[in-house]
Chains A and B, each alone.
Chain A
Amino acid sequence: MTAVNARSVDSPTSDGSHAALITLENVRWHVPTPRGLVKAVDGVSFSARDGEIVCLVGESGCGKTTTGKIAAGLLTPTSGRVLYEGRDISSLRGDDFKRFRRGVQLVHQDPYASINPMHTVGATLSAPLRRHGFAGSSSAARKRAAELLDLVDLTPSSDFLDKYPHQLSGGQRQRVSIARALTVEPRFIIADEPVSMVDVSIRISLLNTMLRLQMELGTGFLFITHDLALARYFAWGGRIGVMYVGRMVELGLASDVVAKPQHPYTRALLAAIPEADPELTRTKTRVELRSLEIPSLLRLPTGCTFHPRCPQFETGLCEVSVPQLRAPGSTVAELDSSNVHAVACHVVARG
């Protein structure tokens, strides 16, 4: 751990604790298709401070992966901006852009596709180390690669350096993928459903490894998942954003979102989590949705996109205008102050 540079733990305060490391401003990803315009991401805004954990939760197809790729700078949003340290990443050039590139890393969902099958683990980790001068020689790169493997709990690291991906399990590959992201000492890691393709029995240990990295290295996380139970566990000290077909419907401290869910969709999601205790699950109050059908991105409902399913639907209000994400009784501008619990719902906002 001593090998990890010192900037990690104390920089949030030195930068001013409220300065956002990465900010998405009204980001849209609209794709024209032969059958119409697909609004995969439609006006998503949130920010993350140095070392903060933000979880994006939503059903498959709600645009959370696209949002993650936009935040990583791998997709250019059709409108809206991504700010890194307060600067628009599309305006960054040369070394500034390289700093952003190295500062924000992505861990893919599928560990079977995200590691080059032709390279050993050692080679996979050495390439970025050598390229960006974190290791001056190949032996130094190998040594550092071993440290990184230790860091992600692949021990003894010497057993793994010369292995090919196909000799590793899904969980081990995902750890390699995390170690690879760590080679460039990022400040923010976007983890796109990192445990969804991993055996259930090792999910928690993988999550714990990432939580330990957040504590020890001060790395921030954008954790994307479809599973609110995982988000609840992973983001307990951070924030949870709930997405529904391309829009953020609720954003707030994890403890607030879980204990006092405001948006009817969040309530439905929370109510649907099965508890380990079957007795508890049975006695949970179910949220009755009016429909179980997720709308097609090609034919989105008017107004609030959730209104055809919403148990609190009010005619003449919900299907007419799009509700903005705001804390009840406050303005959208206050969203940056991170303790705000914001909801995009007419009925809830009215109080």
Chain B
Amino acid sequence: MSATVASPPSTPLPGMAMVRAFGRPLLALVRQPAGAIGLFGVVFFLLLAFVGPSFVALDVKTKLGKEYQLPSSEFLLGTDYQGRDVFSQIVHGGRDIIIVATTTALITTAIAVSLGALAGFLGGWFDTVVLAIADIILTIPQFPLLLVLATFVRLNNIVLLGVLLAALGWPALMRAIRSQVLSLRQRDYIEAARCLDLGTGHIVFQQILPSMTGYIAISFTLGMINAIFLQVGLIFLGLVPLSGNNWGVMLQLAWVRGAIFIKGGLGYILSPVAAISLLQLSLIMLARSLEEIFNPRLRRGN
């Protein structure tokens, strides 16, 4: 720990505080079991979804007589209703899910953090307008709205799906960020920054937000979790006609084809469920230990 403090870069770059705020906790993260498992799980699924497809070819060949097989040495997770390898589908099916989740979480966090921080710090009409928009979105039940929207918008583009989820997902986080900024802006060091005339941009993004990195990181993770549930829900209901292969589509097909009623379909229907659940579990464990790490009193222990 002392090495990182003794030899920092000689020139403080903008955003360095942000980088430092993230770098040190990463070390602390792997020191506790829950964090280490969560981080391991997330990294595992990232590798599976983005590197895995280069090693495992997607099995598209219909094999009569091999439908609905239980896991075996030939088919690690069994086969589907056309006798295709479920394992290869799992490997190829994570990419879209993770991209949508990340896109949603990124956009949600970006909108929520900048609007929330500015609304909290500036107050006045800006605050009023942002809060009004947020309240309108918050009052509309999200999932039914998505159901309606999905029937109007052709959601065959995964990034578009991410944007749509984010457009509805930011208000709750925005309100949380805003209320934190409202309390942070009362701090003496913010008053000192105002006295030094450092400017709104600097005060919000360099002085206030870095002390909230922990909270933002947790919110990002929770945003991903929420986005995964929402999109899988939409796909499962058949409202997002996503072509290609992902865990949501697998689950929907398995359900529609009635894999649940066939003994050999166990591997087929449970594999996407397990993949989604394990990814969610990893994210939740990661978020939980992030919470502990970003507790300032723990962070100061060097």
Contact = CB atoms under 8 A, between A and B. Distances in A.
B291 interface: no
A117 B193 CA distance: 13
Interface string B286-302: 00000000001000100
A260 interface: no
B245 interface: no
A132 interface: yes
B187 to A, nearest CB: 6
Contacts of A117: 211, 296
Contact of B189 (A104, A116, A132, A184): A116
A106 B192 contact: yes
A314 interface: no
B6 A162 contact: yes
Nearest to A114: B188
Given A142-B11, A162-B8, A101 B195 contact: yes
A116 B12 contact: no
Interface string B10-21: 111100110011
B211 A118 contact: yes
Indicate the size class of the contact surface on chain B. Answer: 20 to 34
A209 B152 CA distance: 71
A108 B196 contact: no
Contacts of B210: 116, 118-119
Nearest to A138: B11
A313 interface: no
B12 A126 contact: yes
Query: Which has the most chain B C-beta neighbours within 10 Å: A110, A162, A183?
Result: A162
A114 B5 contact: no
A122 B12 contact: yes
A162 B20 CA distance: 12
A172 interface: no
Interface string B191-203: 1111111110010
A106 B189 contact: no
A184 B197 CA distance: 10
Given A74-B191, A110-B188, A128 B198 contact: yes
A335 B8 CA distance: 54
B207 A116 contact: yes
Interface of B: 5-6, 8, 10-13, 16-17, 20-21, 187-189, 191-199, 202, 206-207, 210-211, 296, 300
Given A114-B188, A116-B210, A131-B196, 7 more contacts: A105-B196, A113-B187, A114-B191, A115-B189, A138-B11, A163-B5, A177-B192
5 contacts: A118-B20, A120-B12, A138-B11, A138-B12, A162-B5
